Structure 1
Amino acid sequence: MNLALWIVAGLLAVVALTGGIGKTFVPREKLAAVQGGGWTADTGAPFVKSLGVLELLAAAGLILPGALGIAPVLVPVTAVCWTLLMIGAMITHGRRDEHRFVLLNLIYLALAVLLAWGRFGPESFTG
């Protein structure tokens, strides 16, 4: 189970890192032209960049605390925060009838819930 949770954390960290880099460093106009990125045209650039920074922090929070043994409780806390972010993403894509992205966000949400449950519960770093 521990290995499976590390794999889930790694996968979610890659997703967060990829999304975070895009939202933080790619101009909003370019993001709006990409499939699934149209929502960025309806928001301000500071909001998009803020989400990008949050995703970069999530990528770090899903891996580093557990790997370094420094405040490892931040791993499941980050997974809970990622769950909330995915709920917002699902609502955003749902309003735009982008059902493929709603499904993808639902998968990420399920993985984050699994990670939070596992790291708060049976595979806690403190147990």
Structure 2
Amino acid sequence: MSLHVVLWIVTGLLATVMLISTSKMFVPREKMAAMGGRASAWVLDFSPGALRAIGALELLAAVGLILPAVLDIAPIMVPVTATCVAVLFVGATAMRLRRGERATIVPDLVYLAMAVFVAWGRFGPEPFTG
């Protein structure tokens, strides 16, 4: 399997995670905290407006990871978006550490690694242009 295909798979998975994460824009934070247990309790630290803003950024990330390459309109935005997603997950990791949620930090680190991999791959050995 070529690096290009692997990058597409990882990008698709990451975009799916981002899209699913936008649920915080529509589900009341109290309900999210109750549904997800300790892993979702962090939503109570944020206002509903802040959660909508985070959800909007995640929606833009899902779009930015896929559409620029598919439509061949500014495909450089794919690795730029992946870099932004990596920054988002650095913040998520820091928040989990601050809250003492070491057991729930693993998914955030996996998503961070995926975003770094996509950024590296699309800026480096498998860009869409050139």
Does the TM-score normalized on the shorter chain lie above 0.5? Answer: yes
CA RMSD of superposed structures (Å): 1.0
Q: Distance in 1 between matches of 2:90 and 2:83?
A: 11
Q: Spell out structure 1 runs of 4+ moving beyond 6 A.
A: none
User: Which ranges of structure 2 fall in alignment gaps of 5 or more residues?
Assistant: none
- Assess if the C-alpha contact under 8 Å between 1:90 and 1:101 holds in 2: no
What is the aligned residue count?
Answer: 126
Partner of residue 54, structure 2: 51
- The answer as to 2:118 corresponding to 1:115 is yes
- The answer as to 2:44 corresponding to 1:37 is no
Q: Distance in 2 between matches of 1:12 and 1:66?
A: 15
* SS, match of residue 52 in structure 1: helix
Q: Distance in 2 between matches of 1:85 and 1:101?
A: 16
User: Which ranges of structure 1 fall in alignment gaps of 5 or more residues?
Assistant: none
- Assess if the C-alpha contact under 8 Å between 1:13 and 1:63 holds in 2: yes
**How far 1:94 sits from its partner (Å)?**
1.6
* SS, match of residue 122 in structure 1: coil
Q: Which moved more, 1:33-42 or 1:47-56?
A: 33-42
Q: Which moved more, 1:49-58 or 1:28-37?
A: 28-37
- TM-score between both structures, scaled by the size of structure 2: 0.92
Q: Distance in 1 between matches of 2:79 and 2:6?
A: 14
Identity percentage over the alignment? 52
Q: Distance in 1 between matches of 2:19 and 2:101?
A: 22
- Which of 16, 19, 23 is equivalent to 1:17? 19
* SS, match of residue 75 in structure 1: helix
Q: Distance in 2 between matches of 1:109 and 1:16?
A: 12
Q: Distance in 1 between matches of 2:65 and 2:4?
A: 14
Q: Distance in 1 between matches of 2:123 and 2:45?
A: 37
- Assess if the C-alpha contact under 8 Å between 1:40 and 1:48 holds in 2: yes
**How far 1:59 sits from its partner (Å)?**
0.5
- Assess if the C-alpha contact under 8 Å between 1:86 and 1:106 holds in 2: yes
